[in-house]
Amino acid sequence: MAWRSILVVVSVVFAVCVAVEEEEHVLTLDHTNFTDVVSNHNFIVVEFYAPWCGHCQKLAPEYEKAASVLSSHDPPIVLAKIDASDEANRGLATQYQLKGFPTIKIFRDGGKNIQEYNGPREADGIVTYIKKQSGPASPEIKSKEDAANVIDEKKIIVVGIFQELSGEKFENYTTLAEKLRADYDFAHTLDAKLLPRGEPVDKPTLRLLKPFDEFFVDFEDFEVEVMEKLIAESSIPIVTYFDKDPENSIYVSKFFNGIGAKAMLFVNFSTELDTFQSKYKDVAVLYKENGLKGLSFLLGDVEAGEGAFNYFGLKPEQAPLIIIMENDGQKYLKAHVEPDALASWLKDYKDGKLKPYVKSQPIPEVNDEPVKVVVRDTLEKMVLNSGKNVLLEFYAPWCGHCKALAPILDEVAVSFENDPNVLIAKLDATANDIRTNEFDVKGFPTLYFKSASGKLSQYNGERTKEAIIEFIQQNRDDKTAQSEADSTTSESVKTDSAKDEL
């Protein structure tokens, strides 16, 4: 009887183990098999993750569900993952220039072509996005039904119109579609009459259909780089609206990810939108018509723009407020701006008459906590020119990950409190301007380490006391201590020389 009970238990355990194995559809990779697996697949999706990353933990079950569904696709689509925080896999993290976790990449043609995954983070969205990415970059529109299925009136789509599906221009178009398929929807047709907007054409034409401004734009230049530039410029509205409408979120994302200087006007949409929007759009149109394409315009609702206010360290009470941010992080700002003053203030900016706005918190009168407070006005003295080994955290007060990291950094700082050559510090990146030529801060928290000799590097390791301390010990140098030793030796020599002279 006892043996039968044991047999039942073993059978149940075995069944559970098998069930668990069957549920794991995400393929686990590491440095030993990564290259072989990727090179043997024409299409594979890989998540680079860190076990301690909260976003990775949230994505994991959704990624697994998507992998389960896609495993039944014809042909099956493989989703994989690799722990990029593991020391053994760090070479791959460097090779693929990871800037945060999770990072998802799509590998095509055995890894010859690599594409960033820019899709949703929930199972159904992942499945839909991946299925689309695994298919042709540009489906052909042969009927009104095809057009209705492919063209979403609320989204941007790039359509190539051709008289024949061959030749250099068609080949350039397909190259472009493959290159930009992660960012835009593409389609092509032999009959422009099937499209909802625009006239029939008798020569190869690239038609950009969009739900704003002039609603469609035609191009006839089929050089790949030229098409790419024209699409990027035309896919951003003359004025991007930043409010709570989810349909606008994709354009807001394109606005902030775009190149060039950005002008952002924040007003209260419920009471001030009608007063400001026409005058602001007039200015934006004027800039565009005069060929000044380096400046993009956004009109944001104060309520919806809470995150932007936090990022810039501004207050809603300063609205109506206009701020210009350049690529290097330089800012120009005017609070309580009047509608009629917009054009003249922007002209002063164009003419170089405005003074940059440099934001810094006051220098703290008392700075005796284990983790020292750095502000923009003390960044040079305390970090860059300190001659010490400094671990500097860029944080945001509202960031949950920063709050979780705070006690860990306190412990690290306490462990080095008797070491004069090591400083653990933090800077509120929402209340102080960041020197973007040295620090690349795209999320919070971001950790940088500056050695005593001046070498600057970003810390992407585990957020544990032990890992951070180990990193500091491995990357520190004691230039200050050596300088003091050299100085002491020099003084000793001088003293000995003086004695000899006496």
- Tell me the two tokens of residue 23: 């549920």
Asked if residue 82 has pLDDT above 70, the reply is yes
pLDDT at residue 247 in the model: 78
pLDDT at residue 292 in the model: 57
Considering the segment(s) 240-351 as one domain, its CATH architecture is 3-Layer(aba) Sandwich (3.40)
| From 165, 224, 226, 399, active-site residue | 399
- Residues with Cβ within 8 Å of residue 497, at least 6 apart in sequence: none
Beta strand residue intervals within 117-204, DSSP E: 140-141, 157-161, 185-189
Q: What pLDDT, in 10s, does the model give residues 263-281?
A: 999 999 989 998 999 999 9
Task: Give the fold, CATH level 3, of 144-235.
Answer: Glutaredoxin (3.40.30)
413: nearest Cα among 472, 355, 496, 363: 472
Asked if residue 383 has pLDDT above 90, the reply is yes
Asked if residue 500 has pLDDT above 70, the reply is no
Asked if residue 18 has pLDDT above 50, the reply is no
Asked if residue 80 has pLDDT above 90, the reply is yes
| From 283, 382, 402, 425, active-site residue | 402
pLDDT at residue 308 in the model: 79
Which phi and psi angles does 49 have, rounded to 5°? -135, 170
* Radius of gyration over every alpha carbon of the chain, rounded to an integer in angstroms: 29
In 454-489, which positions are buried (b, 16+ CB within 10 angstroms) versus exposed (e)? eeeeebbebbebebbbebbeeebebbbeeeeeeeee
| From 44, 56, 151, 159, active-site residue | 56
Q: How many CB atoms lie within 10 A of CB 80?
A: 20
pLDDT at residue 327 in the model: 80
Which strand (E) or helix (H) includes residue 149? Answer: helix 144-150
Asked if residue 458 has pLDDT above 90, the reply is yes
Provide the CA 11 distance to its chain's centre, in angstroms.
Answer: 49
> Catalytic annotation on 17?
no
Task: Give the fold, CATH level 3, of 372-475.
Answer: Glutaredoxin (3.40.30)
pLDDT at residue 483 in the model: 47
Give residue 331's pLDDT band: very low, low, confident or very high (50, 70, 90): confident
242: nearest Cα among 253, 232, 231, 233: 253
238: nearest Cα among 291, 298, 198, 184: 298
- Tell me the two tokens of residue 141: 């529109």
For 128-153, what is the mean pLDDT? 91
Q: What pLDDT, in 10s, does the model give residues 224-276?
A: 999 999 998 888 899 999 988 877 888 888 888 877 889 999 999 989 998 99
For the chain, what are the domain ranges?
27-134, 144-235, 240-351, 372-475
pTM over 0.75: no
pLDDT at residue 293 in the model: 58
> Catalytic annotation on 53?
yes
Q: Are 359 and 333 in contact (CB under 8 A)?
A: no
Asked if residue 443 has pLDDT above 80, the reply is yes
Beta strand residue intervals within 152-224, DSSP E: 157-161, 185-189, 205-209, 216-219
Helix axes 123-134, 54-70, angle to 10 degrees: 60
Q: Do domains 144-235 and 240-351 have the same CATH topology?
A: yes
Task: Give the fold, CATH level 3, of 27-134.
Answer: Glutaredoxin (3.40.30)
Beta strand 261-267 pairing with 216-219: unpaired
Asked if residue 9 has pLDDT above 60, the reply is no
Rounded to whole angstroms, the Cα distance separating 439 from 437 reads 6
| From 53, 375, 379, 447, active-site residue | 53
pLDDT at residue 468 in the model: 97
